[in-house]
Amino acid sequence: MLPHPPRLVMRLFHQAAHLWFRLTRPLTMGVRAVALDEMGRVFLVRHSYLPGWHLPGGGVEVGETALEALTRELREEGHLELADSPVLLGVYLNTFVTKRDHVLVYVARDVRQTHPRGADREIVETGFFPVDKLPQTLARASRERIAEALAGAAVSERW
């Protein structure tokens, strides 16, 4: 197993990647999922380059549909398989790095993990969490998306 690069190096890489995307793509789009297993637990990931826990997901590549990207990201980040077609929760403007980024969030029910996912350079930790016992360090946007999907909170347009 390769050692984890320092957080600052990963953060600089993340910012450089966004700069590259900004120069080569006028608009960026990502996907994330409120991914629930058969017991209603939410799947979350902890990245090496961002603090806290987050919904799984990532960027939509050129020539890829949003659902193809979501399927790929769930497989890569958690060894997750979709049981049914996910349902679009909302489209969010994410101005964290650039004012050009939109995130499509889906609700995916009855996802199945084919096998546990170990840590690597990008993903430090993953897990399923009961909705009433989410990690204290859950990112604000992820917490809000979970509330929108599962607790009837009003759906925002901003990440």
Which tens digit of pLDDT belongs to each residue from 25-35?
678 899 999 99
User: What local confidence, expressed as pLDDT, does residue 97 receive?
Assistant: 76
Residue listed under structure tokens 């403007």:
93
87-94 and 101-108 strand pairing: antiparallel
The encoded tokens of residue 83 equal 């049981």
Residue-wise pLDDT for 43-96, tens only, equals: 999 999 999 999 999 999 999 999 999 999 999 999 999 999 999 999 999 988
Beta bridge partners of 35: 108
User: What local confidence, expressed as pLDDT, does residue 75 receive?
Assistant: 98
User: What local confidence, expressed as pLDDT, does residue 19 receive?
Assistant: 76
Q: Which helix (H) or strand (E) holds 24?
A: helix 7-24
Which 8-state DSSP code applies to residue 7?
Answer: H
Dmax (CA) for the chain in angstroms is 43
Whether 56 contacts 145, CB under 8 Å: no
2 has a pLDDT exceeding 70: no
CA–CA separation, 80 and 67 (whole Å): 14
CA–CA separation, 133 and 126 (whole Å): 15
CA–CA separation, 49 and 8 (whole Å): 8
The encoded tokens of residue 111 equal 């996802």
Please report, for the chain, the start and end positions of each structural domain, with discontinuous segments joined by +.
Answer: 7-150
Q: What is the mean pLDDT of the chain?
A: 92
User: What local confidence, expressed as pLDDT, does residue 98 receive?
Assistant: 78
Residue listed under structure tokens 């590259």:
20
Architecture in CATH of 7-150:
Alpha-Beta Complex (3.90)
1 has a pLDDT exceeding 60: no
Specify the higher pLDDT residue, 136 or 21. 136
Which string of DSSP letters, residue by residue, matches 63-99?
T--HHHHHHHHHHHHH-EE-SS--EEEEEEEE-SS-T
